[in-house]
Amino acid sequence: MQRSNNTIFITGGTSGIGRALAEAWHDRGNRVLVTGRRQALLDQMADQRPGLRGLALDVDDPAATPQLAAWLHANAPALNVVLANAGISRAEDMAADGWTAEDATAIVQTNILGVLRVAQAALPLLRRNGPATFLATSSALAFVPRADFPAYCASKAFLHSWLQSLRHQLRAFPVEVLELSPPYVQTELTGARQASDPRALPLADYVQQVLHKLEVGDTPHGEVLLDRDLPRRWAERDGTYASVYAAMNPA
């Protein structure tokens, strides 16, 4: 992916990883369009960075997909990079009385269907405008799950599989399909405490490493993975899955 002069559309761009990437891409000389549900944050970002455009969008709303497609055609005809990044995470205890599938349903809506809807709206433009890049944010937990986040990890495993199929189906087009698989990063994904959790990677460090990998094309197998996550990524192949799983899910 080139460093500048891209037209970039990002979902989940109002906070955390999406916002940090949106701001860094804007500062590098790209045209950036950001979405999220929190209008006040979109306004704040546009005020702070003239030229950055915001659009209020709830990826859970299927009716928004054709509207998004029309908006992209009208406002970003040169679109060549999409980051489907909006996501939510919730712990679930399926052994508890009263557990319901409500949280899992919400996760499937946002983390899975939300990405598919963005693909539906944006792929026609990317295919037309190539060379282009379609990225979606999965997680290092796509490869080995944390059992206290069952639907969340499974939603990211879905994306890991789905992106491989998308990459294959687009192989005749100049559209690169990349999977962004962050480790545990200091954002408010699971609440305010995560943003200052010393066990999590500082957001600026993560974004700097991702930008470097994208700019030098260090994306083997279409995956944007930090070196520290390679043992988890390849645990099954390396015969270490059981020990990695046990370390992540103590009895």
Is the Cβ of residue 59 or residue 132 nearer to ligand NAP in the bound state? 59
User: Do β-strands 31-36 and 53-56 pair in parallel, antiparallel, or remain unpaired?
Assistant: parallel
Region of 239 on the Ramachandran plot (φ > 0 left; ψ -120 to 50 alpha; else beta): left
Known catalytic residue: 152? yes
Neighbouring CB atoms inside 10 A of 164's CB total 15
For the CB of residue 106, give the shortest distance to ligand NAP in the complex, in Å: 9
- Among residues 46, 88, 154, 230, the one that binds ligand NAP under rule CB under 6 A: 88
Is the Cβ of residue 170 or residue 180 nearer to ligand NAP in the bound state? 180
For the CB of residue 12, give the shortest distance to ligand NAP in the complex, in Å: 3
Rounded CA-CA distance 249/251 in Å is: 6
Give the contacts of 130 (CB within 8 A, at least 6 positions apart). 80, 173, 174, 175
Cβ atoms of residues 182 and 139 within 8 Å = yes
Per rule CB under 6 A, count of chain residues that contact ligand NAP? 30
**53-72: which residues touch ligand NAP (CB under 6 A)?**
57-60
Give the contacts of 228 (CB within 8 A, at least 6 positions apart). 183
Q: Is 126 in the site for ligand NAP (CB under 6 A)?
A: no
* Diameter of the chain measured on Cα atoms: 54
The mark string for 127-166 relative to ligand NAP (x by CB under 6 A, - otherwise) is ----------x-x---------------------------
- Among residues 2, 29, 38, 48, the one that binds ligand NAP under rule CB under 6 A: 38
Is the Cβ of residue 150 or residue 182 nearer to ligand NAP in the bound state? 182
Catalytic residues, which ones? Answer: 152
